[in-house]
Structure 1
């Protein structure tokens, strides 16, 4: 590979890369190259490929032999374009060193700005610009950032203040000023020296002065940042592969902090919170880009489309010609990429430079609106629109908002950085957030400003509240991407980490206190405010209609009550794929009748108890059939082991209460409970085995189903019952249970004088059932794969007992993901495929679905599409997710 190319140059209107090279150049490098090629003003630079990142880790943090010469050659081209020389004391070129993975990972990896500054080159910058203050401002920023990112000088823990900030605040206090911009050139020069002295003291060696050493230090640090904890956490959260690696972009510095004719900003071609089609962004005059995204200063809006605070000027007012140029670039980029763009720009002494463009992070609501609007504008087609929205984003549109009628006490207001409602207990650190969430608590993470190191805490938080930062700060961008409500830049609160509290308008809120956030309004409320269900109309309805036009896979729901059935139907469910009858047995008088049935010593007593249950079950089915008028309802006969309906043998209080209810002694109850105990009840007397041991249970349930079906049929309801026998491992089990269902169905319909079409099928949830599916399909009219149990029995893992172990398996790379969350295609998936193929080999009309939790997982839905299932079934709130995932599966696989 002697001639292998590792470095790609861009500048002066020409680039060696292009937008379709993201795997090699990373998203940032590919988009910079594309912008260069379409004539947008981009500072010259070069990209070191992701292949070098892989080499770097595979070869003990070393580089390919050719890389040094290729970097030198590209750097010389940059120097020629920019008319300056890297490291030259009289005409210095300064560069930034930035990461760039193939997908956006905002703030997760490291950046170094102003590389090339030292005690000599800073004099050249002063001579070139005539601006001593600017030069030392850039220099102190560089020493701070380089020391943090490359040398590792930072706070010892998350609750300690940044050592550089401590020195800076001390300097401002000594000078009697509040803002960094009020410090003089001499003050900044002193800060450089004080920063360097602190670095020397902490590290025992001086800050590096040689520009080439600084450059290679920055390059290595960016490659190293691929594997820092926050970056790894972000990839785990979003499911990005570890072996992708990052590119490194070395780019000429342009400066937004050269005076009042300079500025820096971040903008979106549409509103990333709502999706509205207007130019949305923020900027700061006399600042560098990190000031905007870090939230250190509160930025100004670029225009007044949505209003601006009194007394705050906008970019289109301060620099109208440059704003007009920027607005033109906005239109060019959106038409070129045909997607909403997130852009970074710098204005240096009246000249506009574009630093980056990428597909912008957006809220779920904005994602849907942008997709629908762009179809209407002719930018994209419906198929592209469907691909644009992640199925999991839909999940965030389906959950409650703060009840507008609920009483509330507003204690502060900030920026509406990420919409939605959050109610939780306050914590002040990411580590506490993780610990409290692990204990099942709902928490709101409160920070002065978030940093990428807070990613795990942000991921488990119900909401995020910061006292600093704008709409494009780290907290805002990451929260929107996660669909987490966020109020940012809430200057009305004063955060006190040491005492773990914040104050707002005289109210003191301590760690553990409850607050509520309205991320859509940017408001903070004391205590717990009630929530309400959202309404899905307009753009969402149109978008989901497009998904339904495209998908070929049906979507049903798992529902056990009329309410759940109605909710799911409103979300677009096309039937019930799993009605768990045992869930109907635990309320009120029902549990007494169930226990009476279990404790019976003879069939006559057992049938009396079942007779009490019959009308209760029948009414449940009546309600469900009415709710699902015209749609199929798959009802599973009793599945769990009987001991689940009885108290634990060591629970004397419940044992005594049950004894009193049953007219038996406590000793008798305990003896019965002990007689039902099994070493491994999930592999014991449950499912069809219960029906075989106690056929009267199956008979009662069948009678309830068909009496309800006949009743609603007489009302004019179209009823389509499907009776499902669980845990079948041998065809003979199904034969015997099916015979009971058929007999009872015919008896009930004959007595009622009503004919109802129905099916009898089974769950395939044991490996033997999948392997003998051709035999079972001769008796079954449908298969529903119960992948929860199929995963348990295939892996030999208990879903209830191995959660921690599976998390460790995923973290250590033994498994790519939790097999109970997303189907294990190599193992469990092969059994499913075998079951489908064998079943249909003897019964071409066999209807096949899935009713395990995987039915609502997008990756598992894709698998179900590929193996030719007829439908997936999932919980009501995941029905829209499954509908979109099914549409995307059709587009992806066809």
Structure 2
């Protein structure tokens, strides 16, 4: 019997039987058999019912391949009719027998006949009169007498459950949980062990692990005179399983049965190699095991359970690594909205950076900083963010934007900071004059009102939601330690500040794969100095202003190098267009004119002169470095002086200097000659020798196509997949979110290419660039440093192309390490089977 043929529940029951556990007689119907039933082709019912003997009471439960895919509700007590009811009255008493009959009539009427549940409510006290009333209600609603033939009852139950699985709603729900379109359903038919009647009788469930924390402890409930899972929902009368000060327990009142349950639990954990929840029934003092299902668990518990099973020698460490979804780790690093919290949703956008935060609405970076100064948590709400908002993002607890996609500015910075972020909430309206945001349903939320941003789901909630704290325990660290033993590709972090670098170090990144230096210029007073440089008229004037930035950059790099302790640090030189450092509105222009003591007309003229029709394809990156070479000169000097200083007190530093937005070999050659010259000057001035590596960020299709030429001057190629995707598709990553869902739904694109690396198109350019790069330099180091670097599909692609490492946001490093390990383990298993 296989889960892919009969389903997981059927396979588990088969294993319980083989372990000599007291499982009632059970027959499993395969996926194919259930499909036939849905088409009207019933099995041989006499043959199906024969193993159960005469006049059996039966249950039918669903058995899908994966329990998370769901299925129709179980139906108990099939076979109850007037004759069997009379017999049971004599055997176990009228009240108990009547309760069983009523439960069956109710479930049959509602779940099989699809009748309105209102006429079929269960009375507090079961009586013969209530049976007659319910049978009359069934006949009134259907114009048919309630079926008395057990074979007919069973056939109708099987047909109903088979057809329910194929219903549109059920199909969409399970596909949302990852089930394939053709996922099958098995059905398990089992003899009922009565939990009602004479002697000690009842039902319950037991598990041996806490589903929230993953810690080993016995949990569950038992209810005398009950069936199925009634004990879990009983308002009163249920017993705890272990001794509990809140009330009586099975351990105290039924010690022998409790000991037997514990023995079965340990046996199942070891032999089934999983934490299971066992459903049991006690029938007149005899224990029956009805079902065993995998314990539903929180993300935190899934990690701890996998590690505990491996540490106890039940599963090997590679299997523990394979059992945890890498996405789980990203969530564990952040606070999350508690699962049972009521969600008063304001709007839903794109879940751009995981985690959740509560705070008061603010509409500007300055207000966010002011709120942080008052120690008041805030949520920065913007139409879209710009580099000028970075200070506000640092101060905010979360970010919400109306525009943007998964690789928009807010999303990228949010992930780098570990800041919850929802972008592309296009149904939200911001009224800047009235300082309110307007929800799709018309509700208005004014500045200062409290909201919750859930960056894991994309929800923005009204008010204060209950949050759970991050879960970075020993099990988390142990799992990643094992993962590192199996993975075969390096994992670095994108880190722009010393704080980012410390986070990367804490998550055991193997270095920094991308340090975007321009983000340093938005800190503190540096923005004002940058603006002075922009308004300088000559190269000499710009160089004089940049001299004031030099010690600040040098200090940043020293701190980066010291934090990383000799690990590689790849520094991308200045990239964005200069207009991003200037205010965009009139009030900002007036303020800037006052700061620089310039006429407003001159400020307006300079801003206009720097404006471009398409700045992302204009004077930025290496083009800016060649036009204003003093900028790159200053940055190179800061890097080399920091190298000398940091190497005096720690491991020798070998910085990696990366040139952005390259499209021609000559660009690389010209910049390299200036950087080499700066390196020579610093060596002469300090009397210290040092080495550095020089490379290129491949973000344009032409750079990928001309990689063989470019590597004549570059020791490494790092593919910036954000911009490379943007340029390959001709899509703006900030605007694509407005129509991307329509494209994906229409199957124009399989996935959002800014979220999932396009292997066929962008991947082809990466492959070409890698192959041609190796033709020009056999030992060229290859990597990707775009946001795709943390995704499983991109890691898999890079491994297969022989890349040396991937680089991603610091908070995605743990999941990238786990994904890389799982891919290596999968390949190893496939190879061993050949």
Q: TM-score, normalising length from structure 1?
A: 0.73
1:626 paired residue number: 562
1:334 paired residue number: 269
* C-alpha contact 1:92 1:121 (8 A) present in aligned 2: no
1:28 to 2, 6, 9: 9
The SS at the match of 1:309 is coil
The aligned runs of 1:672-711 (5 Å cut-off) are 672-711=606-645
Deviation at 1:705, TM superposition (A): 1.3
C-alpha distance in 1, partners of 2:8/2:749?
28
Q: Is 1:347 paired with 2:310?
A: no
Q: Is 1:373 paired with 2:313?
A: no
2:95 paired residue number: 133
CA deviation vs aligned residue, 1:544-596 (integer Å, no higher than 9, x gap): 22222222222211111112211221221111111111111112321122222
1:95 paired residue number: 59
Q: Is 1:665 paired with 2:599?
A: yes
* C-alpha contact 2:212 2:301 (8 A) present in aligned 1: yes
Q: Is 1:113 paired with 2:75?
A: yes
Q: Is 1:49 paired with 2:30?
A: yes
The aligned runs of 1:38-437 (5 Å cut-off) are 38-51=19-32, 62=39, 67-68=41-42, 71-72=43-44, 75-84=45-54, 91-96=55-60, 98-105=61-68, 108-114=70-76, 116=78, 120=82, 123=85, 126=88, 129-150=91-112, 152=114, 163=118, 180=124, 183-186=125-128, 188-189=130-131, 192-193=134-135, 196=138, 200=141, 212=152, 215-216=155-156, 218-225=158-165, 229=169, 232-233=172-173, 235-236=175-176, 238-258=177-197, 261-292=200-231, 295=233, 297=235, 300=238, 303-304=241-242, 307-310=243-246, 312-400=247-335, 422=337, 428=342, 432-433=344-345, 435=347
C-alpha distance 365-683 of structure 1, shift in aligned 2 (>3 A): same
2:672 to 729, 738, 744: 738
2:722 paired residue number: 788
Q: Is 1:642 paired with 2:578?
A: yes
Q: Is 1:750 paired with 2:720?
A: no
Deviation at 1:438, TM superposition (A): 7.5
CA RMSD, Structure 1 to Structure 2 (Å): 3.8
The SS at the match of 1:548 is helix
1:840 paired residue number: 774
C-alpha distance in 1, partners of 2:691/2:637?
15
C-alpha distance in 1, partners of 2:32/2:744?
25
CA deviation vs aligned residue, 1:155-181 (integer Å, no higher than 9, x gap): xxxxxxx8479x55xx5xxxxxxxx4x
C-alpha distance in 2, partners of 1:438/1:880?
22
The aligned runs of 1:569-648 (5 Å cut-off) are 569-648=505-584
CA deviation vs aligned residue, 1:784-843 (integer Å, no higher than 9, x gap): 222222232333333322235334455566555443333233333333233323322332
C-alpha distance in 1, partners of 2:144/2:663?
71
C-alpha distance 187-124 of structure 1, shift in aligned 2 (>3 A): closer
The SS at the match of 1:823 is coil
C-alpha distance 846-331 of structure 1, shift in aligned 2 (>3 A): same
* C-alpha contact 2:332 2:470 (8 A) present in aligned 1: no
Q: Greater CA deviation, 834-843 or 565-574?
A: 834-843
Deviation at 1:422, TM superposition (A): 4.6
CA deviation vs aligned residue, 1:696-750 (integer Å, no higher than 9, x gap): 2222221221122122223345322111112223333322223332222222222
1:850 to 769, 776, 784: 784
Gaps of 5+ in 2: 359-397, 399-448, 454-462, 829-834
Gaps of 5+ in 1: 1-16, 85-90, 155-161, 172-179, 401-420, 445-461, 463-511, 517-525
* C-alpha contact 1:95 1:116 (8 A) present in aligned 2: yes
The aligned runs of 1:456-495 (5 Å cut-off) are none
C-alpha distance 309-235 of structure 1, shift in aligned 2 (>3 A): farther
C-alpha distance 262-561 of structure 1, shift in aligned 2 (>3 A): same
Deviation at 1:186, TM superposition (A): 4.0
The SS at the match of 1:248 is strand
C-alpha distance 655-323 of structure 1, shift in aligned 2 (>3 A): same
C-alpha distance 556-368 of structure 1, shift in aligned 2 (>3 A): same
C-alpha distance 791-748 of structure 1, shift in aligned 2 (>3 A): same
C-alpha distance 239-81 of structure 1, shift in aligned 2 (>3 A): closer
CA deviation vs aligned residue, 1:420-447 (integer Å, no higher than 9, x gap): x7589x9746xx4474677999699xxx
The aligned runs of 1:771-786 (5 Å cut-off) are 771-786=705-720
The SS at the match of 1:750 is helix
Deviation at 1:353, TM superposition (A): 2.7
The SS at the match of 2:625 is helix
C-alpha distance 231-608 of structure 1, shift in aligned 2 (>3 A): farther
1:554 to 486, 490, 507: 490
Q: TM-score, normalising length from structure 2?
A: 0.78
C-alpha distance 539-92 of structure 1, shift in aligned 2 (>3 A): closer
C-alpha distance in 2, partners of 1:133/1:812?
58
C-alpha distance in 2, partners of 1:52/1:813?
33
C-alpha distance 142-809 of structure 1, shift in aligned 2 (>3 A): farther
* C-alpha contact 2:109 2:115 (8 A) present in aligned 1: yes
The SS at the match of 2:522 is coil
* C-alpha contact 2:784 2:806 (8 A) present in aligned 1: yes
1:873 paired residue number: 807
Deviation at 1:340, TM superposition (A): 1.8
C-alpha distance 125-860 of structure 1, shift in aligned 2 (>3 A): farther
Deviation at 1:851, TM superposition (A): 1.5
Number of positions where the alignment pairs a residue of Structure 1 with one of Structure 2: 729
